[in-house]
Structure formats: C-alpha cells, structure tokens
Amino acid sequence: MKKTSEELSEMRRPIINKVDWISEDEVLINDHEYRLEENYRDAFNDELLAERFVGLFSRYDFLVGDIGSGQLRLKGFYSDSTSVANNLKISRVQDYLYEYCGFGCPYFILKNMQVNERAKNRWLRDQKRSDSKKSTKTRQSKKVKKTRKPVSKRHNEVVSTGKKKKQKTFTIREKR
C-alpha cells in the first residue's frame, strides 16, 4: 500500500511536540528550555510552534520564527562567536528578515538555553569537511585548464578533439 506525502511527513515528525510556559519569557519545548528574546507583533504562538518544531533545531543557539501567509517558518542561527558562515550568525537576523520575509511580518526570536552540543559539533565538523572538499576541487580545476590560441590565430593547424589516441582530428583551414 502506497503512502501519501502527508502520511510520510507525519511519520518523520514526532507525533506530539509539547510547548509549556515556565515564566513570562521562558518556554519548554519537549522539555528543552528556550527564552523568548523578541516577540515582534505578538508572533509567538505555541500551537503553531508545536506543529512546526523538529528536533534538529536543538543544535542552534537561536531559533527565529516568522509568520507569512498564515504559516510559521522556522530558521536556526548560531551565536556570533561560532565559526560558521556569516548568514548563519544571529547578528545577521535582520538581513534574513528583510530578504526572506514580508515587510513588517510578525516574528519571534527564541534563545536556546540548552544547546545540543553533540549535534552542533557534528554539524560544524561536517561543514568544515565539505568546505575543504570544495576548495580542493576548485584548486585542482584551476591547474588543469590550458590556454588555447583564439580560432583566428590557428592557421592550418591540426587540432584533436580529445585525449584518446583513436579519436578523430580535424584541420582548421583559412578561407581563400
């Protein structure tokens, strides 16, 4: 029996996320403590957050939620002291809100008081590995490129189309 995309998405998420208020500005999400840093235009809605929250957000230092078209979108950010790309640092949250959210849209910022350090360090390690692989590929590709004469300066010269010996060659001839 084939499952619909809705059924598959429900299987991936926990069935019930629990959001409880500890105090006026502190929240427990699945027994994980967060502090409400900013609540622009009363955007924080514990029911919407319970629907959208995924455990992967526990590795971020900050969680930003914005509401557009009646839907909550969540994005994680790291503290400025963490060595990650600038667009993932909390100091760039205003840039994110200007670029990806509607003008004046309601949003909230939660500070993670119990960061999952193990998941955070694993993600940072993976990012460094992928960045180093990308940089070695660009270095290798720069070495391989050869400069060739422009077509206008290739008078009656034999040019091969590949590196294999059995591939055909052709001659560039001048117009007469």
| Residue 70 covered by a domain | yes
| Residue 99 covered by a domain | yes
| Residue 126 covered by a domain | no
| Residue 64 covered by a domain | yes
Q: Name the residue with higher pLDDT: 70 or 60.
A: 60
Average pLDDT, the chain: 83
| Residue 41 covered by a domain | yes
pLDDT range class, residue 28, cuts 50, 70, 90? very high
Hey, how many other C-beta atoms are within 10 angstroms of the C-beta on 57?
21
| Residue 93 covered by a domain | yes
Per residue in 97-117, pLDDT (tens digit) is: 999 998 889 999 999 999 999
Q: What is the bridge-based pairing of β-strands 32-40 and 71-77?
A: unpaired
Number of compact structural domains in the chain:
1
Whether the CB-CB separation of 63 and 112 falls below 8 Å is answered with yes
- The domain containing residue 68 runs over which residues? 5-121
| Residue 76 covered by a domain | yes
Whether the CB-CB separation of 77 and 36 falls below 8 Å is answered with no
- For tokens 């391989």, the residue is 144
CATH label of the domain that carries residue 18 = 3.50.4.20
CA separation, residue 167 to residues 159, 161, 163 (Å): 11, 7, 8
| Residue 24 covered by a domain | yes
Above 60 in pLDDT, residue 149? yes
Hey, how many other C-beta atoms are within 10 angstroms of the C-beta on 65?
22
SS3 state at 6: helix
Q: Name the residue with higher pLDDT: 31 or 26.
A: 26
